[in-house]
Amino acid sequence: MGFLSFLKELFNSAENVNNGVKTGFRFTQKEIKEIVSVSKKENLKYFEVLSKMPNLKYFDISFLLSQTTLNDEKIEIIKEAQKIYNDEEFKANGQTQSDFIFRVAANLEYLNADNINVFKELVKCKNELYDFKDALLNPVKYLVQNEAKVGYAFEKIYTTN
């Protein structure tokens, strides 16, 4: 499907929503118009792909299309990130899916298939950081194995009777 035919279908679908006809889009005409109006022109071709990702909300898609520079590789990274997101793991730390998407967007330039699991662990940490550039560029440096070292707090213990 070409870009122009996609846009035609997009606006026809939006018009059908106004007329009460069910379409394949899950957004209202107003939401679609707003997404299209704030999106970077070069990112518009990815609207269809992002809208088919069931976990992305209207605001998430709008943010990705307007605040990042997308390409096919980055779309694949976003798909992978969606696969590793788990509500139970993240909501336990008070993080929503939108928080997760914002962190993906902030680190999109540095994410790849090799460091996506390190990214997941960084995001699961309860913190306000969004930029994980250093850890993602050299994930091996930041992976720490749990070592069991026994140590004593006191050298001598005194007891009294």
Q: What is the pLDDT of residue 63?
A: 93
Pairwise CA distance, residues 115 & 108, whole Å = 11
Pairwise CA distance, residues 58 & 55, whole Å = 10
Pairwise CA distance, residues 121 & 46, whole Å = 28
Q: How confident is the model at residue 110 (pLDDT cuts 50, 70, 90)?
A: confident
Distance of CA 24 to the CA centre of its chain: 23
Which stretch of 34-43, 45-54, 132-141 has the lowest confidence by average pLDDT?
A: 132-141
- pTM above 0.85? no
The answer, yes or no, to whether residue 28 has pLDDT greater than 60, is yes
Pair of tokens at residue 44: 């518009």
- Are residues 111 and 104 in contact, defined by beta-carbon separation less than 8 angstroms? yes
Pairwise CA distance, residues 2 & 138, whole Å = 39
- Are residues 10 and 35 in contact, defined by beta-carbon separation less than 8 angstroms? no
Pairwise CA distance, residues 70 & 56, whole Å = 16
